[in-house]
Amino acid sequence: MTDTTETFAPGTHPDLPPPLGSRGIVKWMRENLFSSATNTVLTLLGAYLIYLAVPAFLDWFILDAVFDAGSRNECWERAGGACWSVVVVRFDQLMYGFYPEELRWRVDLAFLLLFVALAPVLFDKVPGRRYLAIFSIVYPVIAFFLLWGGMGLEPVESAKFGGFMLTVLIGVSGIIASLPLGIVLALGRRSELIVLRVVCICFIEFIRGVPLITLLFIASTLLNYFLPPGSNFDLLLRVLIMVTLFAAAYLAEVIRGGLQAIPKGQFEAAMSMGMSYWKMMGLIVLPQAMKISIPGIVNTFIGLYKDTTLVVIIGLLDPLGLSQSILADSKWQGLSTEIYIFIAIFFFLSCFSMSRYSIYLENKLHRGHKR
């Protein structure tokens, strides 16, 4: 290194640009890719692997893929890549299951309105947030009638629900219903009222101690013994309840962790100003505890969302359940890779957006008060 060693009188030294090689992309590469002999070898090896894998994958995924064939064999005759035709042909089924075709607009509408209803809850800068929030509150009722029918709409049995519609329905309802229940359980578990506390502990420990599949079986079979004979309690509603209870038990523990992190002084300050228990919790403690719990809460939500695939076990046709019947079709046999990749992409997009939202929320709440 040959540095220019100009000298300046004290106090007159100008700002000089940093020497070459200590800024920009060259610096970044030197620090991150070629910082040592091992690092250099690993970098080259990695580059070679990417060179081998990426073009081959792109060929299969897009360039040699077939989108408009009528059967698996036709696909394979035309090219050696992925046979996305199966997804194209069965797309509607993967989306709606066996929901009557002429009524699918109701599902689409419910899905669109879901975003309208969620906007004021998720973002605080939505125009007209106050009025939209009223819509958010009535949305579940609207969605119920749109999906199940009634009130002049042709009824649709929930046995016909399927595909991603079912995933979103169970996932979103579970998430929305389990959060308040989880909060109540977490508060109950810390309550000074011993009966309430014991009930909450038993509930949480029982639900957490049992696999979700067991609960789903209870929902599908055992409940029939308890319900009065002849009562026809929608299987999907039972599943929704079980999924909600299951997620709520986990959420309760996550939120309890957040509650425990709130210093005693916060409670005392709130009490010393004459706040009632609910005001103290609602205005002081929960806002802070929930903020701490965001990563754990979103973690639980993502888990719940993916667990919806378990309903296939009790005969509900979520995308994975449908894929079984699609693969059993002799025209499309053996195309499991394509279908599973498609389903995986869908789940990844849903879960990844939840994760990004949680990061957005953490940053937003963090900006408010450094510390």
Give how many residues touch other proteins by CB under 8 A.
22
Task: Please choose, from the candidates 158, 336, 316, the residue with its C-alpha nearest in 3D space to the C-alpha of residue 237.
Answer: 158
Residue 273 in contact with other proteins, rule: CB under 8 A: yes
Q: Which stretch binds other proteins (CB under 8 A): 38-46, 162-170, 175-183, 282-290?
A: 282-290
- 253-287 exposure pattern, b = at least 16 Cβ within 10 A, e = fewer: bbbbebbeebeeeebeebeeeebeeeebbeebbbe
Q: Which stretch binds other proteins (CB under 8 A): 62-70, 125-133, 270-278, 330-338?
A: 270-278
DSSP label at 218? I
Residue 192 in contact with other proteins, rule: CB under 8 A: no
Q: Which stretch binds other proteins (CB under 8 A): 72-80, 126-134, 286-294, 324-332?
A: 286-294
- The burial of 49, by beta-carbon neighbours within 10 Å (0-12 exposed, 13-18 middle, 19 or more buried), is given as exposed
Cα 66 from Cα 75, distance rounded (Å): 6
Of 276, 324, 337, 353, which one interacts with other proteins (CB under 8 A)? 276
289-308 positions binding other proteins, by CB under 8 A: 291
Of 265, 328, 330, 363, which one interacts with other proteins (CB under 8 A)? 265
Residue 196 in contact with other proteins, rule: CB under 8 A: no
Residue 274 in contact with other proteins, rule: CB under 8 A: yes
What's the closest the beta carbon of residue 187 comes to other proteins, in angstroms? 17
Which residues, including other chains, have CB under 8 Å from residue 350's CB and lie 6 or more apart?
168, 171, 305
Task: Using the minimum distance from each CB to other proteins, give the nearer residue, 295 or 334.
Answer: 295
- Is there a contact between 99 and 165 (Cβ–Cβ < 8 Å)? yes
Helices 163-189 and 286-307 cross at an angle (nearest 10°) of: 140
Instruction: Match 């002849």 to its residue by tokens.
Output: 230
What's the closest the beta carbon of residue 362 comes to other proteins, in angstroms? 13
Task: Please choose, from the candidates 103, 102, 108, 173, the residue with its C-alpha nearest in 3D space to the C-alpha of residue 141.
Answer: 173
DSSP label at 231? -
Of 221, 268, 344, 360, which one interacts with other proteins (CB under 8 A)? 268
Residue 288 in contact with other proteins, rule: CB under 8 A: yes
- Is there a contact between 185 and 247 (Cβ–Cβ < 8 Å)? no
What's the closest the beta carbon of residue 266 comes to other proteins, in angstroms? 6
329-368 positions binding other proteins, by CB under 8 A: 365, 368
Cα 216 from Cα 315, distance rounded (Å): 10
Residue 130 in contact with other proteins, rule: CB under 8 A: no
Task: Using the minimum distance from each CB to other proteins, give the nearer residue, 41 or 273.
Answer: 273
Of 19, 80, 100, 287, which one interacts with other proteins (CB under 8 A)? 287
In the complex, the residues that contact other proteins under the rule CB under 8 A are 263, 265-266, 268-269, 271-276, 279, 283-284, 287-288, 291, 365, 368-371
